[in-house]
Structure 1
């Protein structure tokens, strides 16, 4: 294998602000510490937290790279001491704590996953963040069971499109909320049973109609705000609401009685600050239960658009337009 260079040109955040603050800079190529891999990046996913970090509202956790980018796919070019899960030359995809907008990036050996042959490297770069978010929140926290119904807000997002496919592949029904006919059609094509346009329909009434009045068993919500109380309305008895973002606001006024009467569970999580051990445990569960679905061709990420790394600002503009359907990926 060729030796990695000493320096590389990355895309950094020159100061908090709009997409135009994403600018090239020169950085040393990182050296993997014990338990780490150095990956030559071929694709890096773009996610909402990247946008939040760029605007100054989501600082990286202590010890993480200050560069944006939370998921990558590429080839292992150097191993830290004790890294034994992967070897030089392996094609891997991984969640990273930062640093993805670069030609070389550090990944944890235990969190990296072998790229299934059914995926291109571009597709692999669109997988780790959404897959781990959906797996942990819908299945580990929300305990979605076969035969139950999942409601996904933002069904056409990267997370939404992954949630639809995974829930359907594992035997559940799926209802989504979306903001346009085009997005509704995309979700139905992926396997969603119902798509509700939240701009023209009341999602609570539409959910009750679609479920014969019983409501949904699990709700994956990235909106928060006034959706919280409406989620309680749309949930079935013993329903689980899982909060993964608050794009509509972090504060809500709720009638707590409804939680008691319906025996609801409202939980939530964020992925980036979780410990490496937690993330490695999620990866182990995904490798056992979800990777076979990729290998069988039953799941693959929906790619909205790809941009070269140096056009990362345009990728952020695309994300902030909210017109995308599926994942936005940077190609190296």
Structure 2
């Protein structure tokens, strides 16, 4: 088969389409023939040499994909060859085939094409596990989403609205804020022109945000704590703004607030399987009835994955960027 390899760390040009050995599904795994994969920030970090795959994972980038089951490994039940699926991966999505633990498979939800299903696993698992399983967002509360027009952001808006929460977003252009509003966002903040702490205070009569989903890390840490409501919960899922920040413990104590930070890739298989099962139970029905949908900005051939990386690096997108395997373009 062919896959995107990274012979040396570097820019988008470091991604090389090359012939590699076919993966073989092990105990409890299935082999998926990939139709589409999606680009995530973690893939950019891996390409740059900053985010190695966990032990035992595929060396190729790609944390989610969609496709058809081509073979079943030993001990797999409940799935059949030919089933159309999407999957949460530890790596290997940028390839024609990938071996996936069966617990990380999801059926393609009703109303979504096999291609577009590649845009769902990472964002649904990230948002559900952080906003709902950890931060416990409840109906009537206010969620602030940084990067509201991103793949994660567009999913967080829809899921929060589906459970009856109020949603605030930050984004850097009018076009992106307008798209967030179309998805249901109530409070639109242009981070280039407005202070999100002040805007959240205005919009909530000084109460603040009950939950904040943050992709920036260090750069926003102090302001995020200031923007939290009493009993607020800050969920950090990224470090685009750096890795070291100063935390005002007194403010955190006064607000009786909590800060959590999580990632998906290196979690044990059992934890990832539990998150996938929760997404199938709680999110898939919302997708099937049209309340939630994947937001796809564009799709490029998998062999030209560097173009997808350039799009993410320039932030010239709204929603997800897909990579189409030869099986999808033949």
**What's the counterpart of residue 27 of structure 2?**
34
**What's the counterpart of residue 40 of structure 2?**
47
Q: Within 2, Cα distance between the matches of 1:41 and 1:61?
A: 21
Please report how far the alpha carbon of residue 117 of structure 1 lies from its aligned counterpart in structure 2 after TM superposition: 2.6
**What's the counterpart of residue 189 of structure 1?**
182
Q: Within 2, Cα distance between the matches of 1:149 and 1:293?
A: 20
For residues 68-113 of structure 1, the C-alpha deviation after alignment (integer angstroms, 9 at most, x for no partner) is: 0010100001000111131111111001111111111111111100
One of 15, 23, 37 as aligned partner of 2:16: 23
**What's the counterpart of residue 129 of structure 1?**
122
Please report how far the alpha carbon of residue 254 of structure 1 lies from its aligned counterpart in structure 2 after TM superposition: 2.4
What's the RMSD between the two structures over aligned residues?
A: 0.8
Q: Within 2, Cα distance between the matches of 1:254 and 1:69?
A: 33
Q: Is the counterpart of residue 253 in structure 1 residue 253 in structure 2?
A: no
For residues 247-297 of structure 1, the C-alpha deviation after alignment (integer angstroms, 9 at most, x for no partner) is: 101111122100110000001101000011001111111111111101101
Runs of 4 or more consecutive aligned structure 1 residues displaced over 3 Å after TM superposition:
none
**What's the counterpart of residue 80 of structure 2?**
87
Q: Within 2, Cα distance between the matches of 1:247 and 1:217?
A: 22
Q: Within 2, Cα distance between the matches of 1:9 and 1:278?
A: 30
**What's the counterpart of residue 4 of structure 1?**
none
Please report how far the alpha carbon of residue 226 of structure 1 lies from its aligned counterpart in structure 2 after TM superposition: 3.0
Q: Is the counterpart of residue 62 in structure 1 residue 55 in structure 2?
A: yes
Q: Within 2, Cα distance between the matches of 1:284 and 1:11?
A: 29
Q: Is the counterpart of residue 314 in structure 1 residue 282 in structure 2?
A: no
- Tell whether the 8 Å contact from 1:85 to 1:110 is kept in structure 2 after alignment: no
State the secondary structure of the residue aligned to 2:234.
strand
Spell out the pairing of 1:109-128 with structure 2 (5 A cutoff).
Answer: 109-128=102-121
Q: Is the counterpart of residue 211 in structure 1 residue 216 in structure 2?
A: no
Q: Is the counterpart of residue 279 in structure 1 residue 275 in structure 2?
A: no
Please report how far the alpha carbon of residue 11 of structure 1 lies from its aligned counterpart in structure 2 after TM superposition: 1.1
**What's the counterpart of residue 226 of structure 1?**
219
Please report how far the alpha carbon of residue 178 of structure 1 lies from its aligned counterpart in structure 2 after TM superposition: 0.5
Q: Within 1, Cα distance between the matches of 2:308 and 2:234?
A: 31
State the secondary structure of the residue aligned to 1:125.
helix
TM-score of the superposed pair, with normalisation by structure 1: 0.97
For residues 46-74 of structure 1, the C-alpha deviation after alignment (integer angstroms, 9 at most, x for no partner) is: 10000000000001110001100010100
**Structure 2: 5+ residue stretches without partners:** 326-330
Q: Within 2, Cα distance between the matches of 1:321 and 1:289?
A: 33
**What's the counterpart of residue 300 of structure 1?**
293
For residues 150-209 of structure 1, the C-alpha deviation after alignment (integer angstroms, 9 at most, x for no partner) is: 000010010000100011111111000001111100100111011100000010000001
Please report how far the alpha carbon of residue 44 of structure 1 lies from its aligned counterpart in structure 2 after TM superposition: 0.2
Q: Within 2, Cα distance between the matches of 1:153 and 1:73?
A: 27
One of 142, 148, 153 as aligned partner of 1:155: 148
Q: Within 1, Cα distance between the matches of 2:242 and 2:23?
A: 37
Aligned length, in residue pairs: 325
Q: Within 2, Cα distance between the matches of 1:15 and 1:23?
A: 10
One of 247, 252, 261 as aligned partner of 1:268: 261
One of 142, 166, 173 as aligned partner of 1:173: 166
Please report how far the alpha carbon of residue 20 of structure 1 lies from its aligned counterpart in structure 2 after TM superposition: 0.3
TM-score of the superposed pair, with normalisation by structure 2: 0.97
State the secondary structure of the residue aligned to 1:225.
helix
- Tell whether the 8 Å contact from 2:208 to 2:228 is kept in structure 1 after alignment: yes
Q: Within 2, Cα distance between the matches of 1:110 and 1:100?
A: 16
State the secondary structure of the residue aligned to 1:28.
coil
- Tell whether the 8 Å contact from 1:126 to 1:303 is kept in structure 2 after alignment: yes
